[in-house]
Amino acid sequence: MNLARISAILPIVFGAALISACGGSSSTAGNSSAREGSYSAEIVRTEMGIPHITARDFGSLGYGQGYAFAEDNLCVMMDDFVTIRGERSRYFGPDGTYSIRANGSVADNVSSDFFWKFIADEAAIKRTEAKTIPRFKTLVKGWTVGFNRYMSELKTGQHPGRHLACAEGEWLQPIAVDDMYRRFVRLSVLASSSVFVNEIASAQPPGLNSLPLPIGGSNGFGPLGDLLSPLLDVLSGLGLPVAQIETPLRATPYAPGSAAELAQKQQALAAAPGGFADLQEHERFGSNMYAFGKDGSTTGNPIVYGNPHFPWSGTERLWMSHNTIPGQFDIMGSSLYGVPAVLIGFNKNVAWSHTVSTAYRFTLYELKLNPLNATQYIYDGEIRDLTAVPLTIQVKNADGQITERKRTLYKSHFGPMITVGASGVPVLAWTPALAYSMRDANLENDRLINQFGRWNEATSLDDFIATQAQQLGVPWVNTVASGPGGKVYYGDVTVVPNVPDSLVASCKALPLSLVIDQVAAGLPLLDGSRSSCEWLTDDDAPAPGIFGAKNLPTLTRDDYVANCNDSYWLTNADQPLTGFARIIGDENAERTLRTRLCLLQAERRMDGSDGRPGKGFDIATLQDVALSSQIYSAELARKTVVDSLCTQPGLMGSSGPANGDDVAAACAVLAAWDGSDNLASAGGHIWREFWRLASAAPLGLPIALPVPTPLTDLWSVPFSSSDPVNTPNTLNASALTVQMAFADAIEAVKATGIPFDRPLGEIQHSGVHGDAVLPVFGGSGGAGAFTVISTNPANLTSDGYAVEYGNSYLQTVTWDSQRNPIAAGFITYSQSSDPASPHYKDFTQAYAGKRWQTFPFSSAQIKQQTISRKTLSQ
């Protein structure tokens, strides 16, 4: 479609309605005196559909950006707006589900609606809007007007054939400014509250006799008796009829807190998908990033590499744009859908990227309840009422009729109540004695748009670093950054509950805190009955209850900084960062294979030991390293497999002896395999299936099997904190679990019908582009791939591997001697989610060919790549 030929005239019948929907108060934006509601922007699209939006003020910039974004991704974004308004049941019925792909949460439409009405409520929206810097408020409002304009054009037939997934949908309705701030709340809690949609939306108090209470123990009340006895004293002192409940309490045949029960809860949590077990799982929701300084760069100018691993579908996709107010504002990069600011990008002064941080953004609190009223809790010796929040949603029934459903959810002063169960086991249950509440620091974070908006304006690396510390609005990602001629910087300067180790030690809620810590190490479960267990506040924190920048990890160097989703500890192999609170991350602990390869690639290139010519990085070398698709587990273990397992007679799998001919054929392919997951590589699928099974062991063994450690350990040489990059190592070929994994992997590949020697390019493809068969290179982060993909399902099927996650937006950025950015990269799944768009798969095809695309930043570069031009005004 030639966008220059599309009419830019908004139909009058929709124009008035849209302006009304977005409000019409008067204010000014940036240095413009244009009245509110008056917008003008030019959208130039360059190759791969990258929009370059030029406008006179922030309102008009948002207007052009919202319109261009809607051209590409209208339906996907509207689905999310409907969801976070709590309207899925109204339009799609109660029986569907909604998935947040980035955190693994899956909820039915009814639970989703109640959750979002509860969490993204009017108070959260207005608090965020009130905090937003005025010029960014006009940016947000302009975005809604531009988005709505494109929607109205679609509705009046101006874009035939486009966005068929929603074009005729009743749910395609104009958005309001509140929807944007609700979206910011949604993104802020991506790594916290929204992991627990079901657990919060279903948390209900018990009736007085609905659940048994403990007995036994030193005072007759069981393992929790020591807390119930002083609790009853408090109730008695308040004049409540404690005697009426003592007899039923003592007569109840229930004894929670036993070692067996705690073990059951731990096993159930560890085995359950999503929730606590996945909070620190960065195989999918992760990223890689580097910044190389003058001692790591061959040019003397820094190089910044960004490589988030995000979903290939849904609103956690990234969308690229270049946004300019001449003489005032000029930024290029990518944003999560619905955010009118660049989240990973560059300008003339700085470039930066992010990876998901290991820090927890919330804590759990155990509440001691009034046994006469399970909606009251004891705090510092006094009774407090939980806040009841009555909610109503609309539901579209099978007959098309709209009815209402009601539910009351509850909050303590910490935050929402939560119940957690797994495999039928109540882990955090709401009983007449105890209940659980969550305090979420990012639910209180009203600074996200200010943080990234101010970063988009950064005038230097020092300005960038200072802004991060002052705003402290980054919700859940590490940052690397640099600028022309400067050093390289790393910071996990993010929103983290101010819960130092000393507070955890004095406030942990036993015994369940032990269960939580085993499944989600470092996540505190605190005593909610004492004010002394409230979060602390640092003097340099911009909001109460969080760490200030002085107590968060940072590092500035001249060679390199890196992060590949493990904690801050090994940001640079020569300068470990230590001494920070455990809630932020672990120290002196084993790193993942991907992190180890991440560090080794930097170290080997700088000392020239990686087999490439010379030492140090230039853009071309970094690009080659980034997409090399090397598999580090193969570097460590393939020779052992070929020399030991392949020559072992009578290899046993879980279902019996392996077929000798199949083992010989698979081993011949592995012996010739190049150790990478490039499109032409043959054998990587055998290795991936083997490593997936081997690294999961011994979880598949019967729990009671007394297997000696040497028979189940994956590695013969254990982890050593004195050599964390190179340990553990040496595959333990004598381990029964390793041998069985190898035999089972060969059998699994054979069962798919895919030959052992089939190249990856004929096996692995995009799983989000419908019938288009688009080959995709890359491997599993768990197997030690730096070039990451994640497939659904994880295992090989007869259809191969369908990629639905992984490398998403890639950028390599440096500067020339005049400080002009030199940048290139990809949007791996392409700019548009609309199959009718010319930019639905073009970037994906370029990525498959490793054809790095220049990101045109200068006017000359833009002119050279221009494919369409549109001027909008209103």
Do residues 190 and 103 make contact, with C-beta atoms less than 8 angstroms apart?
yes
Place of tokens 């949908």: 169
Cα(269)–Cα(386) distance, rounded to whole angstroms? Answer: 27
Q: What backbone phi and psi angles, to 5 degrees, belong to 143? A: -60, -45
Whether residue 147 is found in the same domain as residue 244: no
Contact 810, 843 (CB under 8 A): no
In angstroms, the CA 104 to CA 118 distance is 20
In a domain, 329, yes or no: no
Q: So what's the pLDDT on residue 261? A: 80
Q: What is the pLDDT of residue 12?
A: 27
For residues 596 and 613, is the Cβ–Cβ distance under 8 A? no
- Per-residue CA distances from 115 to 125, 199, 590, 748 (Å): 15, 9, 37, 41
pLDDT digits 0-9 by tens, 149-170: 999 999 999 999 999 999 999 9
Under 8 Å between Cβ of 303 and 292: yes
What are the b/e assignments for 753-768, b being 16+ CB within 10 Å? Answer: ebebebbbbebbbbbb
Q: Which pLDDT belongs to residue 349?
A: 98
Q: Which residues contact 311 (CB under 8 A, 6 or more apart)?
A: 101, 102, 317, 804, 805, 808
User: Coil, helix or strand for 708?
Assistant: coil
Section 452-460 average pLDDT: 98
For residues 138 and 146, the answer to whether their CB atoms sit within 8 Å is: no
User: Amino acid identity, residue 49?
Assistant: G
Q: What percent of the chain has pLDDT over 70?
A: 87
Is 154 part of a structural domain of the chain? yes
Whole-angstrom CA distances from 29 to 54, 61, 183, 295 are: 15, 10, 22, 42
Average pLDDT over residues 515-544: 96
244 and 180 in a common domain: no
116 pLDDT above the threshold of 70: yes
Largest CA-CA distance found in the chain, in angstroms, rounded = 85
Question: What is the phi-psi region of residue 150: left when phi exceeds 0, alpha when psi lies from -120 to 50, beta otherwise?
Answer: alpha
Q: Structure tokens of 553?
A: 């990890």
Of 527, 471, 538, which Cα lies nearest the Cα of 498? 538
Q: How far is CA 79 from CA 69, 100, 175, 341, in A?
A: 14, 12, 12, 21
Q: How far, in Å, CA of 328 to CA of 200, rounded? A: 44
Domain's final residue, options 440, 469, 486:
440
The CATH number of whichever domain residue 743 belongs to comes to 1.10.1400.10
Query: Would you call the peptide bond into 484 cis, given omega within 30 degrees of 0 as the criterion?
Result: no
Q: What is the mean pLDDT of residues 18-32?
A: 34
| Cα distance between residue 661 and residue 150, in whole Å | 61
For residue 71, the one-letter residue type is E
Q: Are 29 and 855 in contact (CB under 8 A)?
A: no
Token readout for 447 is 């600074």
Q: Which of 422, 440, 458 is the last residue of a domain?
A: 440
d(Cα 307, Cα 17) in Å, to the nearest integer? 41
pLDDT over 60 at 706, yes or no: no
Helix (H) or strand (E) holding 365: strand 362-370
Q: How many angstroms from the chain centroid is the CA of residue 819?
A: 33
Query: How many Å apart are CA 432 and CA 424, to the nearest integer?
Result: 20
Which residues, in sequence order, are CB contacts of 727 under 8 Å at separation 6+?
Answer: 590, 717, 718, 719, 720
Mean pLDDT along residues 485-493:
96
State mean pLDDT over 37-61: 96
Q: Three-state DSSP class for 199? A: helix
Mean pLDDT across 183-200: 97
Residue 80 phi, psi dihedral angles, 5° rounding: -75, -40
**532-535 contacts, C-beta under 8 A, 24 or more apart:** 532/506, 532/507, 533/365, 533/503, 533/506, 533/507, 535/363, 535/439, 535/441, 535/497, 535/498, 535/499
Residue 235 and residue 189 share a domain: no
The CATH number for 376's domain is: 2.30.120.10
**Confidence band of 423 (pLDDT split at 50, 70, 90):** confident
Question: Which among 107, 84, 83 has a CA at the least distance from the CA of 198?
Answer: 107
Ranges 503-512, 520-529, 700-709: which has the least confidence: 700-709
Q: Are 765 and 773 in contact (CB under 8 A)?
A: yes
Residues 705 and 669 in one domain: yes
Confirm whether 711 is domain-assigned: yes
Query: Is position 66 within any domain?
Result: yes
Q: What is the mean pLDDT of residues 374-396?
A: 98
Query: Which of 235-255 are b and which e, b meaning 16 or more Cβ less than 10 Å from the residue's Cβ?
Result: beeeebebeebeeebbebeee
Q: Are residues 48 and 149 in the same domain?
A: yes
- pLDDT at 136 > cutoff 90: yes
Predicted local distance difference test score (pLDDT) of residue 493: 98
Candidate from 273-287, 448-462, 743-757, 793-807 with smallest mean pLDDT: 273-287
User: Based on the domain organization, do 78 and 157 belong to the same domain?
Assistant: yes
Asked if 302 and 482 count as a contact pair (C-beta separation under 8 A), the reply is: yes
**How confident is residue 1, by pLDDT bands cut at 50, 70 and 90?**
very low
The type of residue at 26 is: S
Closest CA to 374 of 209, 576, 263: 209
Tens-digit pLDDT profile for residues 223-243? 344 445 555 565 555 555 544
CA distance 111 to 510: 30
Residues 250 and 154 placed together within one structural domain of the fold: no
Beta bridge partners of 576: none
Contact 511, 257 (CB under 8 A): yes
> What tens digit of pLDDT does each residue of 760-788 get?
999 999 999 999 999 999 999 999 999 99
| Contact between residue 530 and residue 493 where contact means Cβ atoms under 8 Å apart | no
Cis bond leading into 511, ω under 30°? yes
Could you tell me where the beta strands, DSSP code E, fall in 571-663?
Answer: 652-653, 656-657
- Same domain, yes or no: 188 and 226: no
CATH number, domain of 112, equals 1.10.439.10
Lowest mean pLDDT among 215-229, 287-301, 494-508, 750-764: 215-229
Query: CA 233 to CA 240: how far, in whole Å?
Result: 10
436: part of which helix (H) or strand (E)? Answer: strand 434-440
The answer to whether position 266 is within a domain reads yes
Query: What does the pLDDT read at residue 74?
Result: 98
pLDDT at 245 over 50: no
Q: How many CB atoms lie within 10 A of CB 109?
A: 24
Per-residue pLDDT tens over the stretch 725-753 = 999 999 999 999 999 999 999 999 999 99
635 C-beta neighbours (distance < 10 Å), count: 16
Position 249 pLDDT exceeds 90 = no
- Tell me the C-alpha distance between 479 and 489, whole Å: 8
Q: Is the pLDDT of residue 422 over 90?
A: no
Examine residue 623 and state whether it is found in any structural domain, yes or no.
Answer: no
Residue ranges with strand state E in 253-343: 286-292, 303-311, 318-325, 329-336
Cα-flanking dihedrals φ and ψ of residue 293, to 5°?
-90, -165
- For 46, phi then psi, to 5°, come to -110, -175
- The answer to whether residue 382 is domain-embedded is yes
542 pLDDT higher than 70: yes
Q: Measure the CA–CA gap between 787 and 610, rounded to whole angstroms.
A: 17
Please tell me whether the peptide bond between 576 and the residue prior to it is cis, using omega within 30 degrees of 0: no
Q: Which residue do the tokens 């010989």 mark?
A: 664
Other beta carbons within 10 angstroms of residue 429's beta carbon come to 19
The stretch 709-732 carries a mean pLDDT of 93
Alpha-carbon distance 763 to 799, whole Å? 7
Number of helices and strands in the chain (H, E) = 23, 34
Which secondary-structure segment (H or E) carries 136?
A: helix 134-155
Same domain, 139 and 243: no
What local confidence, expressed as pLDDT, does residue 217 receive?
Answer: 33
For residues 3 and 598, what is the distance between their CA atoms, to the nearest angstrom?
Answer: 42
The confidence score (pLDDT) of residue 211 equals: 39
Q: Is residue 529 part of a domain?
A: no
Q: What are phi and psi of 97, to 5 degrees?
A: -130, 165
pLDDT mean over 365-371: 97
Report the pLDDT value the prediction gives residue 258, as an integer from 0 to 100: 74
Q: What is the pLDDT of residue 282?
A: 52
Based on the fold, state whether residues 231 and 180 are members of the same structural domain.
no
What is the per-residue pLDDT for 213?
A: 37
Q: How do 488-491 and 554-557 pair as beta strands?
A: antiparallel
Tokens of residue 700, six digits = 């598949």
Asked if pLDDT for residue 828 goes beyond 60, the answer is yes
Q: Could you give the count of Cα atoms lying within 13 Å of 408 in the half-sphere of its Cβ?
A: 7
Distance CA 827, CA 4 (A): 24
733 strand-pairing partners: none
Say whether both 120 and 245 belong to one domain: no
Residue type, 403: T
CB of 450 closer than 8 Å to CB of 133: yes
Q: Is 339 in contact with 360 (CB distance < 8 Å)?
A: no
| pLDDT tens, position by position, 645-687 | 999 998 999 999 999 999 999 999 999 999 999 999 999 999 9
Q: How many domains is the chain partitioned into structurally?
A: 3
Q: Which of 375, 409, 440 is the last residue of a domain?
A: 440
Q: What integer best gives the mean pLDDT of the chain?
A: 90
Mean pLDDT to the nearest integer, 425-449:
96
pLDDT band at 30 (very low <50, low <70, confident <90, very high): very low
What pLDDT is attached to residue 271? Answer: 74
pLDDT at 238 (0 to 100): 56
Residues 183 and 227 in one domain: no
With 0-12 / 13-18 / 19 or more C-beta atoms within 10 angstroms meaning exposed / middle / buried, residue 158 is middle
The string of pLDDT tens digits covering residues 250-270 is 333 333 467 788 888 878 777
Residue 422 sits in which domain range? 222-278+364-440
